[in-house]
Each structure stands twice: as structure tokens, then as C-alpha cells.
Amino acid sequence: MSDDSNLTAREFLNAIFEQILPHVSNPKAFAREWERLTGQLDKQIKDLNKLETDDDHAEQWKRMCKRDDMSRQLILLVRTQLANSYLFDDLWLQHSQGCSVLSDYAEMLNGPGLERRRGDAWSGHTCDGINWTSYERRMMPDFPEKRLDFRGSTTTGQPYYGCLDHAISNLICKVWGFSGFIDTKPHKPERGWFPSTAFNIGWWRDSSMYLAVMLCLGVNILDDQPFLEDLKDTQQIDIDIMPEPKEKLRAVLNAKSIRPKLWARIQDQIGKRAKEAGAKASQQQ
């Protein structure tokens, strides 16, 4: 199992895009609009970078507002196109892999005796914290009939449609930056909330985001043998002796350095799919 974090945040987002594309309501329109918006975002960031040594804060603020507007459009595009997909319904998503990891995670967050430590793998989510316009709010699709409660602390903005929405929306805001989100360049506070190149596991304290991405990639982490064998060999964690799925999940997420391990496993899966797609393309030529 790889321990290298080679994927950039943009490459990670692009890989998720490839995975969700077949499941959106209109793949051709979605791909076309995704390309248009991401291209415009790239241009806005390029123009912002030219202002790095400028003292024209008014122009900088203007361009950052445009960037934020396009980021919201991209998030809204994803939500409207995946509103009726199983990917944005936590119950359907986990059912697709025959497991209950997301509902078990939510139940444990709401249960007694969960010790949360700074930097550990246990956290929750509720809303995105984005200041949406009234028009954008009206454009939001309806939520799934039954939504899990992940006990998040952010109560402003729009509620997430599910764990995968949390992951994608957060990643969009990190790839191009977003005003009001965590400053990714603390040594340059005057340029706060600019894009990040490398994916940082510190962004995702909420492990349901990793679990959801793995489910999107077709993997239930509790059935992922290379991952489980690594935990057994390095930390003597053997979930086979545990009778309940919830206890298996608790043991896995309480393992040392679990978030780097989950991130490494996601990269393994993305790399595997890229190789399979390349081999398939070669056969068709």
C-alpha cells in the first residue's frame, strides 16, 4: 500500500469528476459546463497571481469575488446534476457497497463515550458555511428524504446533501481558494484564502469524507483487504474478530495515523482506475 501523497488537490478533484460523470443527470452538459467554469476559475487565479506584488486591494477583492462566484456556480452545478443520484444520498451510497459505514459513523458521533481529540479522525458536518445568494438558494435541488445527522458545528450556508457533497464542495474551495475559508497561506495573510496545490489531510478531520470517496470508487473500507492487512501487520488491529460492523469501523478509525492511510488508499484506487482506463483505451485503438 502506497504511503506517498502524490496527487495534487486538482488531480484529486479531476479523478472524482471522472468517477461521478456517468452518474450525473446530463453527462454531456455537465462536462461542458464543468470545463467552462474550471477554465474561468483557472484564468481568475492566473490574474490574481499577477496582483501578488500590487497594492491595488480593490482590484484584488473584485477578482476574488468573481472567483468566489464561479466556485459557487461549480458547486451548484455538481449538486443539481447529482441531486437524483445515489452518490448524493448517504444511505444509497453505502447500500451500493453492501455496508453501513456512513450510518454507523453518524450513530457513533451521536452516541456517548466518543473521545474526540484535536487532530483525530472523528468529526462531523452540517452546512457548507457559504454565503449563497437568494437566487442560488432557490436553484438548490431538494434534499434526500432521509438524511443522516453528523453533528457538525457549522450551521450557516446550505446543508450538505451528503458526505460526498461535503468532500467535493470542500475540495473545490481548496483547489481555487474561497474567501472566508481557512487561510491556506498564513505567511501571506493579505492574500488570504488563495488556492492550495497539495492535498492536505488536515483539511478533512471528518472521516466520513474519506469513507464516501472510497464508496464512490466502489470500495467499502471494511472489505478492503490490502488496507486491513496493513492495519493487522503494523498495528495488530484484526477486525475479523469483532462481531459488529460498528465496532469494526470504530477500531479502524481509531488506528494511528488513520487519515494518511485512508488518503494513501484513495490514491491507490485512483491510480488503479487510471491504469485500467488506459489499458482499455489502448485495446480500442
Instruction: Report the range out of 91-95, 175-179, 239-243 with the highest average pLDDT.
Output: 91-95
* pLDDT given at position 146: 80
Contact 214, 262 (CB under 8 A): yes
Q: How many CB atoms lie within 10 A of CB 203?
A: 19
Contact 99, 220 (CB under 8 A): yes
Q: Is pLDDT of 112 > 50?
A: yes
Instruction: Please tell me the total number of residues recorded for the chain in this structure.
Output: 285
* pLDDT given at position 186: 46
Task: Collapse the DSSP code of 8 into the 3-class scheme (helix H, G, I; strand E, B; otherwise coil) and give the result.
Answer: strand
Give the range among 43-47, 183-187, 203-207 with minimum mean pLDDT: 183-187
Average pLDDT on 93-98 reads 96
Average pLDDT on 208-231 reads 96
φ, ψ dihedrals at 159, nearest 5°: -60, 145
Nearest to residue 178, comparing CAs of 194, 157, 162, 167? 194
For the whole model, what pTM was predicted?
0.91
What is the C-alpha separation between 263 and 11, in angstroms, rounded? 13
Give the range among 3-17, 37-51, 95-109, 180-194 with minimum mean pLDDT: 180-194
Contact 41, 67 (CB under 8 A): yes
pLDDT band at residue 3 under the 50/70/90 scheme: very low
**DSSP state letters, 102-165:** HHHHHHHHHSTT----TTSS-----B------HHHHHHSPPPPSS------S--SSPBPSSHHH
What is the C-alpha separation between 36 and 73, in angstroms, rounded? 11
pLDDT band at residue 91 under the 50/70/90 scheme: very high
Task: Collapse the DSSP code of 224 into the 3-class scheme (helix H, G, I; strand E, B; otherwise coil) and give the result.
Answer: coil
* pLDDT given at position 2: 41
Degrees to nearest 5, angle at CA 9 with 100 and 275: 75
pLDDT band at residue 4 under the 50/70/90 scheme: very low
Contacts 24+ apart (CB under 8 A), 223-231: 223/97, 223/99, 224/265, 226/1, 226/265, 226/268, 227/1, 227/261, 227/265, 228/252, 230/1, 230/261, 231/255, 231/261
pLDDT band at residue 280 under the 50/70/90 scheme: confident
* pLDDT given at position 189: 44
Rg (CA), the chain: 19
pLDDT band at residue 285 under the 50/70/90 scheme: low
* pLDDT given at position 144: 82
**Exposure of 13 by Cβ count < 10 A (0-12 exposed, 13-18 middle, 19+ buried)?**
buried
* pLDDT given at position 1: 42
What is the C-alpha separation between 185 and 200, in angstroms, rounded? 13
pLDDT band at residue 238 under the 50/70/90 scheme: very high
By percentage, how much of the chain surpasses pLDDT 90?
66
Higher pLDDT, 262 or 118: 262
What is the C-alpha separation between 71 and 41, in angstroms, rounded? 7
pLDDT band at residue 193 under the 50/70/90 scheme: low
Higher pLDDT, 175 or 56: 175
